[in-house]
Amino acid sequence: MWQGAIAAFGASLLIAGCASKDPGFEGDMEKAIRLMDEGKNAEAYAVLDPQCGASGAMPVTDPDYGLCRDLLGDAKAGEAGINWFDFIGALPDDDSTTEFEITNVVADMVGAAPPSSDPTSTKLYADPTDLAAKTLSLEEALKIHGNVDPNNDGDWSDCDISALNALTDAEKAQLAMEASLYILYTVSGNIPTADGAPMSLDALKDGAGSVNLSATQQTNLSVAIQLVQLGSAALGADNDASTEFDTFVQEIGGSAISSATINNYLSML
Ligand SMILES: [Ca+2]
């Protein structure tokens, strides 16, 4: 499944190590990457924010600007619980016959655990407060990597999807991964249960019929699913991750997401 996207992302991070020209930025960048390696994503963000964050001093024309923004978004994705290296480690070998459980890996990312009422349950749940914070961090990552909300009013209908064609294939694949998780996080957060927000497919299944997204959420998730399509197209038809993204888009009912299409998706899990 997602190996192609992850491998591409890993490669971009390695290349990043020798791409910088500005010595001041190079030091900050190395520090930020080291902090992210240690799981200190908020600290990594704080290192890069004065450079290329909202009030950063680095001009958009600086040759390091794009790389700095990539890393800034990675730090936010890390805050959202996405640990790319754990994720890679969870992937099966090419010749493995074990089915990779994407939802279980996602559930681990948001700190999900079986409910106390049923500790041996295979249905994983996330703490709703923690999930909400991580959904916000992922939203920031998508704003930085995909400019999904140019006027920053919380509504993504002003996202210029066609402008994202200028991104590299690896960047598009990374956006697709972040957007997929954003959709799963948002849907899960929309289904409160006694045990928390459902994160595994088994647990999400029970939420079919209860999803009631706001108009803005429906708009934003419709943009997110188009980012999944963008990443899938960039990876090409023979790519396993692309197949996985395509299946997700197809099952969720295409590019116009509504409460009805999500409830339908959950009922088919
Ligand atoms: Ca907007």
Overall number of domains in the chain? 1
160 Cα–ligand 1 center, Å:
10
pLDDT exceeds 50 at position 32 = yes
Residue 55, C-beta contacts closer than 8 angstroms, at least 6 positions apart: none
23 confidence band (pLDDT: 50, 70, 90)? low
Backbone angles phi, psi at 58, to 5 degrees: -70, 125
pLDDT exceeding 70 applies to what percent of the chain? Answer: 80
pLDDT exceeds 60 at position 47 = yes
Q: Which residue has the tokens 């994705």?
A: 77
Q: What was the pLDDT predicted at 12?
A: 45
pLDDT tens for each residue of 132-153: 999 999 999 999 999 999 999 9
How many Cβ atoms sit within 10 Å of the Cβ of residue 26? 15
Chain centroid, CA 195 distance in Å: 24
187 confidence band (pLDDT: 50, 70, 90)? very high
Amino acid of residue 27: G
DSSP states along 153-172: SS-GGG--GGGGGGS-HHHH
Q: How far apart are alpha carbons 70 and 36 in whole angstroms? A: 13
Mean of pLDDT values over 101-130: 72
**Burial label, 236 (beta-carbon count in 10 A; 0-12, 13-18, 19+):** exposed
241 confidence band (pLDDT: 50, 70, 90)? confident
Q: What was the pLDDT predicted at 15?
A: 43
Higher per-residue pLDDT: 53 or 237: 53
154 Cα–ligand 1 center, Å:
6
Residues 147, 154 contacting (CB under 8 angstroms): no
pLDDT exceeds 60 at position 2 = no
**Burial label, 208 (beta-carbon count in 10 A; 0-12, 13-18, 19+):** middle
155 Cα–ligand 1 center, Å:
4
Q: How far apart are alpha carbons 189 and 201 in whole angstroms? A: 14
Mean of pLDDT values over 13-36: 72
Q: What was the pLDDT predicted at 106?
A: 65
Q: What was the pLDDT predicted at 262?
A: 95
CB within 5 A of ion ligand 1: which residues? 149, 151, 153, 155, 158
Question: Residue 255 is part of which domain span?
Answer: 3-268
128 Cα–ligand 1 center, Å:
25
